[in-house]
Structures are given as structure tokens and as C-alpha cells.
Amino acid sequence: MNIARVRLLAWKEVRQLRRDTMLLRILMLMPVLQLVLLGYVVSADVTRLPTAVVDLDRTPTSRQVAGAFTASDYFDVRERPEGEQTLQPLMDSGRVRVAVVLPAGTQARLERGETAPLGLVVDGSDSQSASVGAGYASQIVARLNAERVATLTGGAHPGRAGPPAIGPPGSPGLDATVRVLYNPTLQTVNAMIPGLVAFILMLSLMVVMSQAVVKERESGTLEQMFVTPIRPTEYLVGKVVPYAVIATVQCAVVMGVGLLWFRVPFRGSVLVVLTGLALFMLTSIGMGLIVSLLSRTRQQAQQAVLFIALPIMLLSGFIFPIDSMPEPIVPVTYLIPLTYALEVLRGAMLKDAGFDALAVPLLALAIFGVVVFGAAVFATRRRLTD
């Protein structure tokens, strides 16, 4: 092996890399971005779960229990419905993930020395948030019972007033019963398959569309297109349609495998799912086209897609619950189209949510589709006509 030739070849590659400034920036920024995202996002400490408290007892005891959930950092009490019948719409729309139901007569049962049931209703469409949330809620109830026993038996901390006595000594106390909606077995696959359908659609479209224009620019066929009678709109439609069909077939295959092999339930409307996927497809095509227009080589386009896909995957709630992310990062998740696609697919497939319950995420997907796809079409037409 000739060391001199190896040194010259290595120097040639370094000079080529120096000329490719976009690729160099991506290579330098990607590990930093991965470290920051994985360091902050990878966490099982779910906090600020949207919670509803249904107080049907309206006594000092029920207010004490509700106050314990309100004071906890793990729950964010946003709704106080008048009855249990209003919980279902709140759960379907995703506005509430946990509900605490205090039946009428809770205080009276405790005063008689009986067990007082307390209902915990959990949204199981996100199995990780559901299991962690149910555990936190059970801990709060257990702590309330322990504090109550300590107070009634004189074991409260000296010099500190304990909570008001809610029953005679020796009474059983509160008994929390957890009821999981939509995914009673809390199987992770039931939440992952709908997410995989959306993520595979996005990734496959971005990968192929990112090569659409840059590939022809590299091979020199793009200039040949300019001298043909093909119009920019015809060129764009001809580029998009085949890849959109392929992505649709991929989604159908993944959905079929998920339903038939993994036995994921499908309780909702096919029309809702197709509407959400169609709107999300426009955004994915637009992002891929924009990457293709900004990239000068196919290698740049591939690295750019990976650079974009990683934060989208981590921050959308596809793998890690948004409720476990730090507060400064949570607003960023609302700028990611995949976040809303997951809400639509999980809501329609697991919750049987319709257009009314999923109006907000569908509207967000429509806005993303119009803005991103419209910008990509405008930029592509401008590039072809220049």
C-alpha cells in the first residue's frame, strides 16, 4: 500500500467535503441535536397529564381528594364536569387523559367505617402515559389513606395539623378502582401501529421526494426537461402521483398487517383515517420537495431527511409521550405535523372518534398541508420556469 497515494486521496475527499458546506453543517449539527433531544426527551417521568375531576359528593372529603390531585405535579386538572356522561367526549378529543370520579356519598361511607370507592378513568390509547398515570393516581390515594390513618390515630407530625378526619379509626378508607378506556390491556402495539402508519408514510414520501429534483439535476436531465413542451404543472404532477400511490400502498400494507397480524382494534371510521392520511400526505410530499430543491446532491438530500426526521420522531409523541417532555419543549411539538396525524389515527382507530372530536388535529393538518405543499409547489414552479 502506497501511503502517499492514500494521503492524496484522503486530502481530495477532505477538499470535496469542504466545498459541500451544507453537508458539513448537517454532519456537525446532527450529533449535537441527537444528544440534546435524547437527553431531554427520553424520560418515563410523565407529568402534567390533562385531568378531569368529577365531584359528585361535594363535601369536604371530596374537595380534599380533588385538592390532592390539583396540587400534584403529575396531573393538570383542566376540567370539572358535572357528571360522568360528559367524560366520553373529553376523552375522545384528547382534552383529558385521566378522570377522577368521586361518587355521591363518599364522605358518608367513610364516616360509617365503610370502604368508599373512587373511580380512576384512564385513556389507554397511549399505553405508557396510561400506566404511569394510573400508578401516580393510586399513589395519591394511598397517601391520602395513610395521612388519614395517621391523623385519626394521633400519629400526625408534631406541631403540624394534618388533614381533616374523614372517618372513624379503623375504617377501610378510599378504594381506587382503575378503568382503562380504548386499550384495556394497555398493549403498546395498539398505540404503536397507528403511529407507524403515519411515520412510514412521512418517511417514505420524504425519502423519495427528496431525490426527485436533485437526481435529475445531477444527471443533467433536468435541463433537457426545460426544452420540452412539458409545463411545470405537468412535470410536478407526474413526479408526485407515482410516489403518492406507492406510499398509499405501503400504508395499506402496514395497516393490514397491524389489524390482521397484531390484532390492533379498529373502532372508528375509515373516512376519518383516509382524510387524516391524505392531508398528512400533502405535508410529507411538500417537505420532501423542499429538501430536494435546496439540496445540490443526493447525499445532501439523504442527510437532510435524516436531520429532519429525527426530531419529528422524538418530539411528536410517536415514541415518547409529550407529557414526559420538559415544558420549554412542549410548544415545539405543536409545530410538528406528525403530532396531529398521530392524534387522528389513534383517535379514530382506538377511540372511535369522529370528525367532530378530531376537528382540531384535522384542521391543523389541513393548514400544514396548504402551507407546506403550497410553498413546495411555488418553489418548484419557480425553479422550473427560471
The residue among 181, 210, 245 that closes a domain is 181
Q: What is the mean pLDDT of residues 341-355?
A: 92
Does position 384 have pLDDT exceeding 70, yes or no?
no
Q: Give the CATH number for residue 95.
A: 3.40.1710.10
Q: How confident is the model at residue 158 (pLDDT cuts 50, 70, 90)?
A: very low
The residue among 158, 181, 204 that closes a domain is 181
Same domain (yes/no): 275, 350: yes
Same domain (yes/no): 246, 146: no
The predicted-structure confidence for 34-61, as pLDDT tens digits, reads as follows 566 655 555 556 778 999 999 999 999 9
The residue among 122, 151, 181 that closes a domain is 181
Same domain (yes/no): 204, 142: no
CA distances from 86 to 53, 95, 212, 312, 367 (A): 11, 12, 49, 33, 29
Same domain (yes/no): 228, 286: yes
Q: What is the mean pLDDT of residues 16-25?
A: 66
- Tell me if 163 is assigned to some domain: yes
- Tell me if 62 is assigned to some domain: yes
Element (H, E) at 305: helix 298-315
The predicted-structure confidence for 202-232, as pLDDT tens digits, reads as follows 988 888 888 877 777 777 666 566 566 667 6
Does position 171 have pLDDT exceeding 60, yes or no?
no
**What is the overall mean pLDDT for the chain?**
82
- Tell me if 5 is assigned to some domain: no
Same domain (yes/no): 283, 348: yes
- What span, in angstroms and rounded, lies between the C-alpha atoms of 365 and 306? 22
CA atoms within 13 A on the CB side of 377: 14
The total number of structural domains in the chain stands at 2
- What span, in angstroms and rounded, lies between the C-alpha atoms of 288 and 213? 10
Same domain (yes/no): 210, 240: yes
The predicted-structure confidence for 291-344, as pLDDT tens digits, reads as follows 888 888 888 888 888 888 888 988 898 888 887 787 888 888 999 999 999 999
The predicted-structure confidence for 49-98, as pLDDT tens digits, reads as follows 999 999 999 999 999 999 999 998 889 999 999 888 888 889 988 889 99
Higher pLDDT, 157 or 111: 111
Q: What is the pTM of this model?
A: 0.78
Q: How confident is the model at residue 160 (pLDDT cuts 50, 70, 90)?
A: very low
Range of the domain at 326: 187-385
- What span, in angstroms and rounded, lies between the C-alpha atoms of 207 and 308? 11
pLDDT at 83: 86
